[in-house]
Amino acid sequence: MLLEVKGLTKNFAGLIAVKSVDLHVKKGEILGLIGPNGAGKTTIFSMISGFLRPTKGDIFFKGQKITGLSPPRICHLGVTRTFQLVKPLTQLTVLENVMVGVFAKVTDTEGARKEAAKILEFTGQLHQKEVKAGSLPLGDRKRLEISRALGTRPDVLLLDECMSGLNPHEISEAIQLIGKIKENGVTLIVIEHVMKAIMSVSDRIVVINHGEKIMEGTPEQVANDPEVIKAYLGVDYAKR
Amino acid sequence: MSTLASLMKDEKKVGLVVLIIAALLPLVIRNSYILHLIILIMVWTVLGASWNLLGGYTGQVSFGHAAFFGVGAYTACLLHVKAGVSLWLGFIAAGVAGALISIPIGAICLRLRGPYFALSVLALAEVLRLIILHWKSFTEGAVGILLITPVISSRTGYYYLVLGIALLTLLTVSYILRRRMGYFFRAVREDEDAAEALGIFSTRYKLIALIISAFFTGVMGCFFANYTNYIDPYIVFSIGDVSIAMVLIVVLGGIGTFWGPVVGSVIVVLLSEGFRNYFAAASLLVYGALIILVIMFLPRGIVGSIQTRRSA
């Protein structure tokens, strides 16, 4: 097991955002994480990546306990995330943004520049390398989040809604990109609301509702589960 | 404007030309007042560049750099007067002292986001000023310290000394900016969460920027003490004349730009001298009005506005 989460719980001053969630990802797998807004998906990401300390429960990466470590420490171990609300380094160019990620593993500037250019070619963003990140449109900012995170050479990449707000063409490009990333041996956990996308990229899907795991299975199993339909569409639809 | 913009394109060439002109200047200029003005410009260039590394590139604004300036000045002078340590060694001691005093305050306050660091440094400068003011048996208090035999006696000598320090400071800054560390500084400024997710220990890099910044500020404190022969707590720990003046020079010249502190120093030194002659007591008023105008119409400072226009 590459990444394992056991009994993960987060309490915000009495509000239980995440309640005793168990997750695991095998190497090379894509795990989809779905659930209605406010279900606690991003909170789970924030705990895995070190931005939030769990109230209870533990996170193991390659068998090592990483619960409560700082985000940079966890990134150096091989787990990094992107942000749903993108955080481009606005005054830096696209290439420089990716270089910052690459610097996690490469120390010299020229080496970092070359590797960053390779990554941009891989993600199809090389033509924008001299553009300031702050002047990119949303679709390209979402892609830059992924390019930059790939720069850190992660074993596990946590993608937080990298397709929301994209047009259908951009969504199909993003689906292709996720497939390419998987082929390169990176394990992914993907949070997504675009159902068509999550169903097509995921090997396995976990459904979260009100902070609890309500279902886990293949995309087909999940799509036909009455509990899931109830959570998404309401009780009426589940009865039919 | 366009010629200036194209000239600024190749920073190395500009730097070399400026350096050659600067090195030859004392041979041409025999007027010691003009030489004095150029020395002041270089003093402020060093202070501005130091502040800019932390405030402009790393995004950690400080309202109290006088703390490091004053500690540098007093360390060198006290070592010399009380222990007979050479004032040349004092330059290094001053830098180290400035850097050392910055560590505890940075290690504590740079963990926090928001205005806490900016204000804590301001408080640090005031606390240090009060300590030096009242610890009369050791520091001479408000009487100050007179350096009877500063390191150099000629103005030309000081000119070359400050030129050397300015060169060292600018080269250090430019080297750092081209290295991984410089990218990390800017990443932390742009977005701390993004930086941390990308493996950057943000507090550590903020602290490194602070230490380097405080070092050069401390060195300049020692230069100032030698150049003026005299220091007292009101002068070297001044909020307005040191701490805020450093911020203004960088903001005017262009925050987070390499040449901003240089351009800012030229303008501030020349204008404040000019205003003092023409407007006498009203000079501060005119000066203040000018700063408001620049911030309103050139919010990125002079160099920043030129660069924005060029890339647009």
CATH number at residue B38: 1.10.3470
- Chain A contact residues (CB < 8 Å to B): 49-51, 70-72, 75-76, 80-83, 87-92, 96, 99-101, 103-104, 107-109, 112, 132, 148-149, 151-152
CB distance A72–B256 less than 8 Å?
A: no
- Euclidean distance between the first and the last CA atom of chain A, given in angstroms as a whole number: 38
Minimum distance, in Å, between the CA of residue A17 and any CA atom of chain B: 21
ipTM for the assembly: 0.92
CB contact under 8 A, A103 and B194: no
Separation between Cα atoms, residue A221 and residue A204, nearest integer Å: 9
A96 to chain B, closest Cα gap in Å: 8
Q: How many CB pairs under 8 A join A and B?
A: 84
Distance CA A141, CA A135 (A): 9
State chain B's mean pLDDT as an integer. 91
Q: How confident is the model at residue B5 (pLDDT cuts 50, 70, 90)?
A: low
Count of domains for chain B: 1
Q: Is B279 on the interface with A (CB under 8 A)?
A: no
The C-alpha angle with vertex A99 and arms to A96 and A103, in degrees rounded to 5, equals 145
Domain with B236, as residue range(s), is: 2-311
Q: Confidence band (pLDDT; 50, 70, 90) for B1?
A: very low
Extended strands (E) in chain A? 3-12, 15-25, 30-34, 56-61, 64-65, 79-81, 156-160, 187-191, 204-209, 212-217
Count of domains in chain A? 1
Interchain pair B184, A100: CB under 8 A: yes
CATH code: domain of residue A119: 3.40.50.300
Under a CB-based contact definition with an 8 Å cutoff, are residues B180 and A107 in contact? Answer: yes
What is the share, in percent, of chain A residues with pLDDT greater than 90? 84
B190 Cβ under 8 Å from any chain A Cβ: yes
Give me the pLDDT at residue A239, please: 55
Tell me what pLDDT residue B3 has.
52
Kindly tell me if the per-residue pLDDT of A41 is higher than 90.
yes
pTM for the model stands at 0.92
The CA-based angle B244-B202-B110, given to 5 degrees, is 40
Per DSSP, B244 falls in state I
Q: Which residue type occupies B111? A: R
**Residue A171 and residue A11: Cα distance in Å, rounded?**
34
The rounded distance, in Å, linking the Cα atoms of B18 and B192 is 36
Exposed, middle or buried, A108 (CB in 10 Å: 0-12/13-18/19+)?
exposed
Given A83, A109, A148, which is nearest B178 (Cβ)?
A109
Q: What is the pLDDT of residues B84-109, one digit of tens each?
A: 999 999 999 999 999 999 999 999 99
